[in-house]
């Protein structure tokens, strides 16, 4: 595939700016469809992409195109969709309006709802599901920091894609089983809400056995729901998904030895939902816990903990900006 196939990152926030910036830094033709505030920061400072692993990549603004006009989608060979799930329908309408039917559309979004919305809205396009395992924290002035590890997965299709999107420091792997991969990520993403409610960093939360027990109980509920639907999640960790609740319940000294790779994160990292609640922004709780609750109801599988977590996040949203700083005993 030619390295000149234009890429448009639709709705470039933290993940979109990081991925798009890494691709642009290594010669890909990248346009970021961004809000004016983000565009202004990048024009002034360029992009600085850093990581817990020592990454420090400076990307001059001249290395990519910045646009607030969705008409830029008309030039896209590949569209990387990175908006929140609730905004997917709006982006899909813009893609349908502006993008050539031969373009490949890749969902780099949490949950499974977003890719399904894109497929339904764009029947003539090559729509691929994707999974981004790491989180990215915006530090302002064009700096985006990758705080956790992992490689991106993208669904295989009629045209090779993973190799083209892989560059040094950003590995993309193709898979013919993207649904299982996405379900595996959704199971882990159920912790996004717990991390937000805790007010802790991810590392602090993972080292607190009380919070890990809540994580394990919530994941066990979700696994029961998936089993009732005949869904087999693919783990993005070295451990099978079914074993993760058992590992989470281990005493902390044992947990830190067995799950060392789960702790290869920036000490200050928090989940995206934590940052959303802190800033008073809408969260993706309905695409995560909400999806499990709805599927449980379909098969008569009780999900009281997922429901409790969902309710608490929505209560926190209604109160406005800030983190709840909850004790885990309030969830059991």
Cα–Cα distance between 111 and 84 in angstroms, integer? 10
Is the distance from CB of 247 to CB of 239 less than 8 angstroms? Answer: yes
**Residues 6 or more apart whose Cβ sits within 8 Å of residue 136:** 14, 15, 17, 18, 144, 145, 146, 147
Is the distance from CB of 165 to CB of 23 less than 8 angstroms? Answer: yes
Cα–Cα distance between 272 and 108 in angstroms, integer? 14
Q: How do residues 22-60 score in pLDDT, each as one tens digit?
A: 999 999 999 999 999 999 999 999 999 999 999 999 999
Residues of the chain with CATH 1.10.1040.10: 182-327
3-state secondary structure of 7: strand
pLDDT at 216: 97
pLDDT at 40: 95
Instruction: Decide: pTM greater than 0.75.
Output: yes
Segments of the chain scoring below 70 in pLDDT: 1-4, 332
Fold classification of 182-327 is 1.10.1040
CA 86 to each of CA 76, 112, 285: distance values in angstroms, whole numbers, following the listed order: 23, 12, 10
Burial of 241 (0-12, 13-18, 19+ CB in 10 A): buried
Cα–Cα distance between 314 and 215 in angstroms, integer? 19
- How many residues are there in the chain? 332
pLDDT at 111: 86
Is the distance from CB of 49 to CB of 113 less than 8 angstroms? Answer: no
Fold classification of 7-176 is Rossmann fold (3.40.50)
Residues of the chain with CATH 3.40.50.720: 7-176
């Amino acid at each position: 595939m030619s390295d000149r196939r234009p890429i448009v990152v639709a709705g470039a926030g933290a993940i979109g700016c990081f991925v798009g910036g890494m691709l642009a830094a290594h010669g890909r033709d990248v346009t970021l469809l961004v809000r004016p505030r983000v565009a202004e920061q990048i024009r002034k400072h360029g992009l600085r992409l850093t990581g817990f692993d020592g990454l420090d990549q400076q990307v001059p603004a001249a290395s990519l195109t910045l646009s607030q006009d969705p008409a830029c989608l008309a030039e896209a060979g590949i569209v990387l969709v990175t908006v929140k799930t609730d905004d997917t329908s709006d982006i899909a309408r813009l893609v349908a309006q502006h993008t050539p039917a031969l373009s490949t559309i890749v969902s780099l979004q949490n949950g499974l709802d977003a890719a399904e919305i894109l497929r339904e809205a764009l029947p003539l396009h090559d729509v691929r599901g994707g999974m981004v395992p790491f989180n990215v924290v915006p530090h302002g002035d064009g700096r985006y920091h990758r705080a956790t590890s992992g490689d991106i997965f993208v669904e295989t299709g009629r045209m090779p894609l993973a190799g083209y999107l892989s560059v040094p420091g950003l590995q993309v792997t193709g898979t013919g089983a993207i649904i299982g991969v996405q379900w595996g990520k959704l199971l882990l993403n159920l912790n996004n809400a717990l991390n937000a409610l805790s007010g802790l960093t991810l590392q602090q939360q993972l080292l607190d056995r009380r919070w890990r027990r809540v994580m394990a109980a919530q994941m066990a509920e979700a696994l029961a729901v998936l089993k009732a639907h005949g869904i087999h999640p693919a783990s993005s960790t070295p451990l099978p998904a079914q074993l993760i609740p058992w590992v989470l319940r281990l005493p902390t000294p044992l947990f830190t030895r067995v799950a060392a790779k789960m702790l290869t994160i920036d000490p200050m990292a928090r989940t995206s939902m934590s940052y959303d609640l802190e800033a008073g922004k809408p969260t993706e709780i309905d695409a995560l816990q909400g999806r499990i609750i709805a599927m449980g109801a379909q098969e008569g599988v009780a999900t009281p903990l997922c429901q409790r977590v969902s309710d608490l996040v929505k209560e926190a949203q209604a109160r406005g900006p800030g983190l709840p700083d909850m004790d885990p005993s309030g969830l059991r």
